[in-house]
Amino acid sequence: MTRIAMVTGACDPRRLEVGQLRTGLHAQLHGSVRGPAAAGHEVIVHGPDRGGVSDDEAAGQILTDPVPTGDVDIDDATDAHAVAAGLERFADGLALRWRSSRPELVHAFDWYAATAAERALRAVQARIGPVPLVVSLPSLGHVHRRHLGETPAGAPIRLAAEREITRKADLLVASCVDQHRELLQLGAPRDRTVTIPHGVDGARFAPPRAGRPREVKNVVTVSDLAPHRGTEAVIAATLRVPDTTLTIIGGPPPALLGTDARVAELRAFAARHHGIDRVHLTGRVPNEEMPALLGAADVVVQVPWFTGFGRAAIEALACGRPVIASAVGGQLDSVEHGTNGVLVPARDTHTLYDALRKVLLDPRCRASLASAARPRTLDRFGWPRVTDAQLQAYERVAAAEPALAEVAT
């Protein structure tokens, strides 16, 4: 049995136990924790104390430890001073804990957590000795900047931190082949970089019971509504196909849909394309509601300009739904063109329309793609296989000399 400390900067760890999995990345962390714990390892999850969940509510199978970091949300942070101060508090809190209770391995799940964990391990190394550091980066700031021409949340600290982490981590975990390549270009050592995809829970994400064929076909897309998610392209393409509706999952909480500026933009866009009554925005929904929403689709469309892993694609495929996806990021790994879905160039609305029309109006094509969707996805991305790869990576890094000791000053 190994004592594993997992660190996240994206959510209060107590939310993993009470089911408040706001995003797919939270669900990925949840699975990454439960797999090793079920294999007999002692796992504790450290993350920022965001409040809103009591220790009693969070009591359960996952051992969690919220760390006071101040009022910093790394998804929205633009104040470099606030980010730096939050990192310092986070690192200090982790160091305090690890001095008295040494982990045998640390796995950080984003740049913020990785930076705090590396600093904490360095601070306590003289007392507890070197500890292997594994780092997963769900997205890369320099990729964001390359495509959008702007710095992402947490920059410029994030950009420098990601480069430093690629040098100091004992093992870097890419979520897809495309991200593996990006990490190597960023300077990651080839012999300390592996690819382990995100996992999907095949018991939760499963095909719904067969019902009567619908006259009106339902297109579904999952999007936080940022322009680079390609939502306008999905609206435009869907509204050109007769007898279709579009469900857009994500964005602000449902209560704020009426006042959100971006929602107003999308509704105006749909109106200009004469289809405002055919486009439905759900707002942000818990991950627990995703299986039913994806299962209600005739086809799921995910066409961001760029992405990390692209989790919505594997969740839709596990539900037995064909996926039309832009040929970027992890969607290149999960969507096999012509087998379980269709790959289209990013930012190409015309090709997207052709693909959508073909899948929706050709029942044989749709059925063929759907029949291959679930088996292939569970074989490659089911949690048992992903957990095996995760544990093998831990064994590999535990047997090697920690990189932190190599760069210690």
DSSP character string of 181-241? HHHHHHT--GGGEEE----B-TTTS-PPPP-PPPSSEEEEEE----GGG-HHHHHHHHHHS
- Omega prior to 130 cis, within 30 of 0: no
Report the side by side order of strands in the sheet with 217-222: 279-283, 244-249, 217-222, 299-302, 323-326, 341-344
Query: Is residue 376 assigned to a domain?
Result: yes
- Global pTM reads 0.90
Q: Are 311 and 24 in contact (CB under 8 A)?
A: yes
For 195-206, what is each residue's pLDDT tens digit? 999 999 999 999
Considering the domain boundaries, does residue 359 fall inside one?
yes
**Residue 244 shares a structural domain with residue 177:** no
Asked, for residue 204, whether it belongs to a domain, the answer is no
Q: What angle do CA 284, 287, 291 make, to 5 degrees?
A: 110
For residue 406, what pLDDT is reported?
Answer: 44
| Domain shared by 376 and 227, yes or no | yes
What's the pLDDT tens digit per position in 323-344? 999 999 999 999 999 999 999 9
Whether the per-residue pLDDT at 18 is higher than 50: the answer is no
Range 154-159 contact pairs with CB under 8 angstroms and sequence separation of 24 or more: 154/74, 154/77, 154/78, 154/83, 154/111, 154/112, 155/80, 156/80, 157/80, 157/83, 157/84, 157/87, 158/83, 158/111, 158/112
The span from the CA of 343 to the CA of 332, in Å, is: 8
Q: How confident is the model at residue 20 (pLDDT cuts 50, 70, 90)?
A: very low
Number of domain units in the chain: 2
User: Domain for residue 339, yes or no?
Assistant: yes
Report the first-to-last Cα separation within the chain, whole angstroms.
Answer: 31
Same domain, 224 and 88: no
Instruction: Say whether 31 sits in a helix, a strand or coil.
Output: helix
d(CA 73, CA 110): 13
State the Cα–Cα distance between residues 289 and 22, nearest whole angstrom.
10
Does residue 114 lie in a domain region? yes
Which of 64, 105, 111 lies closest to 87, judged by CA?
111
Residue 258 and residue 152 in one domain: no
What's the mean pLDDT when you consider all of the chain? 89
Q: Tell me how far apart the alpha carbons of residues 305 and 229 are, in angstroms, rounded to a whole number.
A: 6
Residues shown for the chain:
409
- 395 and 357 both lie in a single domain: no
pLDDT of 346 above 70: yes
Is residue 267 a part of any domain in this protein?
Answer: yes
What tokens were used for 404?
């932190």
pLDDT tens track for 85-108: 888 999 999 999 999 999 999 999
Do 250 and 145 lie in a common domain?
Answer: no
Model pLDDT, residue 337: 98
Q: State whether 103 and 192 are in the same domain.
A: yes
pLDDT at residue 141, as a whole number: 86
CB atoms within 10 A of CB 19: 12
| CATH number of residue 100's parent domain | 3.40.50.2000
Whether residues 228 and 193 share a domain: the answer is no
Band of the pLDDT at 149, cuts 50, 70, 90?
A: confident
If one counts every other C-beta atom within 10 angstroms of the C-beta of residue 378, the result is 21
**Confidence class of residue 405 from pLDDT cuts 50, 70 and 90?**
very low
Does residue 79 surpass a pLDDT of 80? no
Q: Give yes or no: residues 30 and 175 share one domain.
A: yes
Partners of 4 in the β-ladder: 43, 105
Domain holding 346, by residue range, is 217-381
**Same structural domain, 260 and 348:** yes
As a whole number, mean pLDDT of residues 136-154 equals 80
- According to DSSP, the β-strands at 105-108 and 133-136 are parallel
Question: ∠ at Cα 115 (112, 116), nearest 5°?
Answer: 85
- 165 and 73 share a domain? yes
If 0-12 CB within 10 Å is exposed, 13-18 middle and 19+ buried, where does residue 230 land? buried
- Examine the domain organization and report whether 72 and 184 are in the same domain: yes
Query: Is there a domain that residue 212 lies in?
Result: no
205 belongs to a structural domain: no
